[in-house]
Structure 1
C-alpha cells in the first residue's frame, strides 16, 4: 500500500502527520514542535538543511521554510542580494531571501489548500524535494559571490539544472 493510500484508509490527512511519516521513512532527524509544525534536518551534497513545515488552519496554507547559515561580510551584502534576485528570476515556485539578523539563507514556499483541499504525501514530498534541490542548485553561486567575491552574473554560471556529485 502506498503512503497516500495508507493515509486515505486511516482517514488521517493532517499535512504535518504526513510530513512526519515522510521524515521517518527517509530517516531524517525531526522534531514535532506542535500539532501544526514539524522541524527536520536533511543532508544535502553541500550541507545539512533545516526544514520547517507549518500548517495554518486559519489561512488554509502549508508553509515550508528551508534554511542554512550564511554569514556574509557586510560589504558583500549588495552582491548577495543581487544574486538572490537572479536566483528568484529562475525559479517558479518558492523564493530565496536572506534573514540578516539570524544570518540565514531561507527558501520559502506556501501551498494554498483553500476550500477544504488537502496535500497528499506526494505533494509534501515534492515540496521538500523542491526546497532541497533549489538550495543545492544555488548554494555554489551564493558562496562564489560572498566568499569568492565573484560578480553575481558570473556566479550564476555555476547554478546547474540539477546537482550531481560533489565538487
Structure 2
C-alpha cells in the first residue's frame, strides 16, 4: 500500500496531503506548486477544470479554486459581472468570481478548519465535488453570454432548465 492510500485510510490528514491522496485515488495527476499549494485538472461535463488548493497555516483556511478556462473579453466584463451576482445568489457554498487582472472566471470556496488543522476525507470529497458540480451547473450561463449574446437573466434561465424523463 502506498503512502497516499494510507492517507485515505486515515479519517483526517493535513489538508494538502489529504487532497493529494484524494486526487491520486481518483486518477487525477496532481502537482505540488509550493509547500502549501496543490494543482490538478479534472474533466467536467462541459470542459476540464483546473483545481487549485491553497493552505494558509496562519488562519487554518483551505481555499479551493476551480477554474473552467473562461476568459472574459473587456466588452463582456460588465455583463459577466451581472451574471456572477445572479449566479452567486443561487449558491450556498463558495462563490464565482473573476480575476480583475486576467479576466478569468473561477469558483472559490474557503474552508476554516479547526485548531488541529486537519481535513477529513468526507469534507475533502464534498468540497471537491461541490466545486465541480457548481462549475458544471453554471458553465452554460457563461457560454450563452459569451457566445450566444444572451442577457444574464436569459442565460441563467436557459442553463437552469429542469428536465423531466429520459431521452
Shift of 1:151: 1.1
Q: How many residues align?
A: 159
- Aligned residue for 1:160? 160
Distance 1:162 1:56, change over 3 A: farther
Moved more, 72-81 or 40-49: 72-81
- Does the aligned pair in 2 maintain the 1:51–1:65 contact within 8 Å? yes
Name the CA shift for 1:117/1:16 in 2 (closer, same or farther; >3 Å): closer
Compared CA separation, residues 21 and 4, structure 1 to 2 (3 A): closer
The match for 1:6 is 9
Equivalences for residues 1-167 of structure 1 within 5 A: 6-8=9-11, 13-116=13-116, 118-160=118-160
Name the SS for the 2:58 alignment partner.
coil
Q: State the Cα distance separating 1:13 from its structure 2 match.
A: 1.5
Give unmatched runs, 5+ long, in structure 1: none
Give the direction of change, closer, same or farther, for the CA distance of 1:72–1:119 in structure 2 (3 Å limit).
Answer: same
TM-score (norm 2): 0.85
Distance 1:107 1:113 in 2: 19
The 3-state SS of whatever aligns with 1:33 is strand
Distance 1:130 1:115 in 2: 24
Q: Is the 8 A contact 2:7 2:13 kept in 1?
A: no
SS at match of 2:52: strand
TM superposition shift of 1:97: 0.7
Deviation at 1:82, TM superposition (A): 0.7
Aligned partner of residue 69 in structure 1, secondary structure: coil
**Deviation at residue 27 of structure 1 after TM alignment:** 0.6
Q: Give the drift of 1:5.
A: 7.0
